[in-house]
Each structure stands twice: as structure tokens, then as C-alpha cells.
Amino acid sequence: MTTRTETDSFGSLEIPVDALWGVQTARSLHFFAIGSQRMPLEIVHALALIKWAAAQVNLQLQRMDAAKAQAIADAALQIAEGRHDDAFPLSVWQTGSGTQTNMNVNEVIARIASARITVHPNDDVNRGQSSNDVFPTAMHMAALEQTHIRLLPALSALHQELLIKAVEFKDMVKIGRTHMQDATPVTLGQEFGGYAAQLALCEEAVRHALGAVGKLAIGGTAVGTGINTHAEFGPRVAALLAEKMQLPLTQADNLFAAMAGHEALVALHGSLRMLAIALNKMANDIRLMGSGPRAGLGELLLPQNEAGSSIMPGKVNPTQIEALTMVCAQVMGHDVAIGMAAAQGQFELNVYKPLIALNMLDSIRLLSDAMQSFRQHCLMGIRANAVQLERNLQSSLMLVTALAPHIGYDKAARIARHAQQQGTSLREAALALGHVTAQEFDAWVRPEDML
């Protein structure tokens, strides 16, 4: 392999001659060969945008000449646009401040820019910054952007489809269930409307949490004091990023808190956990209502997308539901890890940042994709099994609840027990016990009036 020699304060290393990264990235590749998970590219692209903005602000503040600032800004935009993604090979399991990835970005920008003018990765690209403030800034930017462009549209589309189903099923009366036992009637539309309302609450929680995520640590440098940077650097960088990304980004009110703690991201992921919980409940309800086709509840007819068994011919499974519920379990697990990581801030810096970034972005990606897949390949094709809904409804003992206001709880309970013990209908049991007449039973026990 043809190599070039690069030197830092620890000595010299041979680096592949065509590699855009430099000596500090090379050391990280050697010392952090851990797992197969790479730093999310969303973080890399966000870091590059920070470098783009930083170069322009340093020019404005007369801390960098125009030629160098332009070369850095141009190189940074190339990276932010994804044109050099293969130049960022580092494991996510590195230093807890993300320093290695910050330097990876600095080195690649410096090498690209140095084709025009000599640029140093620390002195120039990283001017006015520290990994300790730019990495959490990138975490917030990436989480905010991905939530806006991926998660919220997928959530909104799923919510709208549930509302459509609620209207479609509004006249489909069925038996309700509590404790997994028969209860009084509801409509299938009411159930799907309930799912839609749950997701609306989740969307409200996500949007509320995003406000704090728009507050950035940039300008705090090493420990929050802003040492080695201009007092206007952070606010100006945040303003440029807000304009570029069309997102509500500002410098955090307290830079010490923004670097030492990650409560804003904890709250955002907490809303994702809430969403996962709601999705899991909805998916499991639909799975149960679609169980069968002959020996289950059979109230819903789920789309048949693919063969379900390698041994049982003709078997079809609720695979979209299974995928969605596995994603929900993963997101809940991510939330536990994020909570533990965010609690580990000692003094002026939390050093679990890459883990928080990885899990946050993975949750956003998984939930977005899973909601879209479930909506397209399951929810849109669900049909009600009217025959089975009516059969289950008429066989339910809990229709006896309609008699309680007329004959009292105790007599109604005796009718239900008699019907269950004798294997008869409620009507037959009521007439056999002499508690009501046929005309009274037919007038009082009307499922459509029990909604």
C-alpha cells in the first residue's frame, strides 16, 4: 500500500496516500477497533455544517482570512452534502466526548481545503471550538433535523390513516374487551379513533420536546466558559445554522448545562419511548383482532403479504405488526441506555455522548421506517370481518349490562351465570329465569344503543 507520513504530538504514522483523513483518525482506528457500529453520518454531516458556519463567523470576527475561510467552508459543505462519506470510518465506541470524530471531520476538511491553501485541522478548521461544544451541538442538530424530516411526517401519515379507518369502521359494532374478557359494546371505529388520539398525544409530546433540542452548546468550548473563542462566535454560528437548516436553532442560555447534561435529548427520547409504547399497544390490539383465521378472534382481515411458514402451507402471519413491535422494544431499550448515559455527566462534561447520539438517531430512524411500513403494508389494507364481529357480539354475556338499570345488578348477574353454565344465549337465560319478558329483553338489549 502506498502511504504518506503524518505527524502529531505523539509521533509519526503511515497513512494510505489517498485517505482524506489524517493521523488522529488513524490512531483512533487503531485504538478503537470496537464492534461494527460506525458514528452516524447524520452526526458527521452536522459537524461539517458547524465547520462551514464557524469558518464564516471567524472571517466576520476577523479571526481568519477570506481565502482560508472560503476553502474551509467549501470543503465542509461537500462533506455535509454526503460527498465524502467513506472518509469517516470511526467506531461510535470511542472517547465519550466524540473528540475522535470531531478530529476526523477537521482532518478531512483540512485535506480537501489544502488543495487550495494550507489549512491546519486544529488551528484553522477547529478555530474557536472544542469537541466538547461542537459534538453536543451536532447531536442536537441531527436529532432535530431527523425528527422534522423523517419522524414527524411518518407519524402524521399514520395518524391520518387511523382517522380514515375510524370513519370507515364507525358503524361496525363489536364487543369491547377489558382484562382480555368480554365487556360492553364499542364500534371498531371508536377503537381506531382511540389509537389515533394516542398518537396525537405522542406527536404533541415530541413537538414540545423539540424546543429545548434547538438550544446549542456552541460557544462553550472546553468547559462552558468560552475560552479561546470570541463572545459572539456561538450566537453567530447558531444563527447561520438556523438559516441554513431552516430550523429554530439558538445558542443555549447556559453553556455549562448544555455540555455537562443532556436533559433536552433525554426528554426528546422520552417522547419517542412514549410513541413506542402507544404503537406497541395499537399493534398488539390489531394483532389479536386479526388472529385466526379460523381459531382466533378473526374480527379483522389483515393484508396477506407473504408466506408465513416454511413448513405449514398456506400460513400467513402478521409480519408488519411483528416488525413494528420489535422496533418498539428496541426503542424502549434505547431509552434505558440513554437515561443511564445521560446520568453520567461528571462536573463539566458528559462523556457518553456517542452512545446517546447513536441510540437517539437509531430510534428516530427505526420508528420512522416502521410506522411508514406498517401504514403502507398493513393498516391501509385492513378490512373488518363483519360476520365475525356480529357473531362475537351476539354471543357475549356482557350485553346483560343493559338489563341492570331495569332489573338490578344481582338479577342481571344471575342471567349471565345461567347462560354461561347452561350454554344458552342471554335471551334464553333471561326468559328461563323469568326476570324479563321477551318484549322487554328485545327492547332493552340493543347493542347499537349501548355505545
Active-site residue set: 179, 309
b/e sequence 127-160, b meaning 16+ C-beta within 10 Å: bbbbbbbbbbbbbbbbbbbbbbebbbebbeebbe
Give the three cell numbers for residue 140: 442536537
Residue position matching grid coordinates 477537521: 106
